[in-house]
Structure 1
Amino acid sequence: MARVRLSVSERREELLRAAVGQIEARGVAAVRISDVAAVLGVSSALVLYHFSTKEKLVAAAFAHAAQGELARLRALLGRRAPALERVHDAVRWYAPTGGAKGWRLWIEGWAAALREPALREPARALDQQWKAALAEVVAEGTAAGEFVCADPVSAAGRLTAMLDGLAVQMTSYAGSLPPATMLEWADEALARELGIDRAALGRPGE
């Protein structure tokens, strides 16, 4: 059966999704153009036609993943719901056991960015925009009297740093921390930042 002819944008999207999957599975250093091509049953030449080098493909793959994460985050925080519910849901989503993109991808990106400057911008943009979106909803909830937070920007920074650290622990040292414990710590940290009782966030599984 003949392959469906894709537009340039559709083909790039397909290649980027495949690249993200291969980076997660193999790591930035080990992944090859031929690995991405093989997933889709296309030639390496086709991949190079769209991205010219492995470095450009990898950088575009991280940018693609970051854009997807930010779109889902904005949808989550933009719902018509109390700010506390949205912030809590966002923290749970971002946490290592939540629905955010596989943490292996981002840990790979952080490590590779130390040696490859082109990879720094997607990770930095995701980090900055996540913090800004979280801080905005915390400020909204404070203004509405749902909770009290004197410095939403700093609160968002501290929560992000904690969740990033937990992600490294749970991804690099599998089994070192039970998921329920990680969620409990995240909820405790969120409650402290918002000046509310931990019980207001419900049980870890809720």
Structure 2
Amino acid sequence: MARVRLSVAERREELLRAAIGQIEERGVAAVRIADVASVLGVSNALVLYHFETKERLVAAAFSYAAEDDLARLRGLLDRRTSALRRLRAAVRWYAPTGQAKGWRLWIEGWAVALREPALRDAARDLDRRWKAAITEVIAEGVAAGEFHCPDPAAAALRLTALLDGLAVQLTCYAGAVPRSRAQRWADEALARELGLGPEAL
């Protein structure tokens, strides 16, 4: 059966999705252009035509994954409900006990970003935009009188730092922290940052 001809944008997206899958399976250091090409049944030359080097492919794959994560986050935070409900939904989704996928991908990415400027820029941009979105909703809740938080930006930083740290524990060290306990800690941290009692969540 003949292979369907894809547009340039569709082909790039297909290659990026394949790269993400291979990074999650093999790790950034081990993944090769040939692995991505093989998954799709295309030539190495086609992958290189679109991305030129493995480093550019990896950076683009992380940026693609970041945009997907941010779109999901915006969907949760843009709902027509209270700021508290939106924040709780976002934390529950993002926490390593929730439905967010790709924690292995991001942990791999953080490690490689220490040495790769392009990936470091992509990771930093995702981090900045994630914190900005959470900060914005916390500020909305404060303005609406839903809760009290004197510094929404600092609260967003502390909250995301906790979630990132829990992700490392649950992803890298199986059994180190029970999932139910990690979820409880995330809920308690959110309540604490908003000046609420745990029962409010």
* TM-score interval, normalised by the smaller of the two chains: over 0.9
Superposition deviation, residue 41 in structure 1: 1.0
TM-score (norm 1): 0.96
Alignment partners' CA distance in 2, 1:69 and 1:107? 15
Q: Does 1:92 align with 2:92?
A: yes
Alignment partners' CA distance in 2, 1:122 and 1:175? 30
Equivalent residue number for residue 182 of structure 2: 182
Superposition deviation, residue 38 in structure 1: 0.9
Instruction: Tell me the amino acid that sits aligned with residue 108 of structure 1.
Output: E
In structure 2, list runs of 5 or more residues that go unmatched: none
Equivalent residue number for residue 117 of structure 1: 117
Superposition deviation, residue 122 in structure 1: 1.1
| 3-state SS of 2:57 partner | helix
Q: Provide Cα deviations, 1:125-151, integer angstroms capped at 9, x if missing partner.
A: 111101010010001011111111111
Equivalent residue number for residue 165 of structure 1: 165
Equivalent residue number for residue 24 of structure 1: 24
Instruction: Tell me the amino acid that sits aligned with residue 120 of structure 1.
Output: R
Alignment partners' CA distance in 2, 1:99 and 1:38? 29
Equivalent residue number for residue 204 of structure 1: none
Equivalent residue number for residue 133 of structure 2: 133
Instruction: Tell me the amino acid that sits aligned with residue 51 of structure 2.
Output: F
Alignment partners' CA distance in 1, 2:25 and 2:174? 16
Instruction: Tell me the amino acid that sits aligned with residue 135 of structure 1.
Output: T
Q: Provide Cα deviations, 1:80-116, integer angstroms capped at 9, x if missing partner.
A: 0110000011111110122223110000000001111
In structure 1, list runs of 5 or more residues that go unmatched: 202-206
Instruction: Tell me the amino acid that sits aligned with residue 19 of structure 2.
Output: A
TM-score (norm 2): 0.98
Q: Does 1:108 align with 2:108?
A: yes
| 3-state SS of 1:97 partner | coil
Superposition deviation, residue 200 in structure 1: 1.4
Equivalent residue number for residue 39 of structure 2: 39
User: Percent sequence identity over matched residues?
Assistant: 74
Equivalent residue number for residue 73 of structure 1: 73
Equivalent residue number for residue 62 of structure 2: 62
Alignment partners' CA distance in 1, 2:98 and 2:126? 17
Alignment partners' CA distance in 1, 2:68 and 2:137? 20
Alignment partners' CA distance in 2, 1:61 and 1:53? 12
Alignment partners' CA distance in 1, 2:107 and 2:89? 22
Number of aligned pairs?
A: 201
Instruction: Tell me the amino acid that sits aligned with residue 105 of structure 1.
Output: L
Superposition deviation, residue 45 in structure 1: 1.1
| 3-state SS of 1:5 partner | coil
Equivalent residue number for residue 144 of structure 1: 144
Report the aligned-residue RMSD: 0.8
Q: Provide Cα deviations, 1:126-178, integer angstroms capped at 9, x if missing partner.
A: 11101010010001011111111111000000001111111111111011111
Q: Provide Cα deviations, 1:38-90, integer angstroms capped at 9, x if missing partner.
A: 11111111111111111110011011111111111111101101100000111
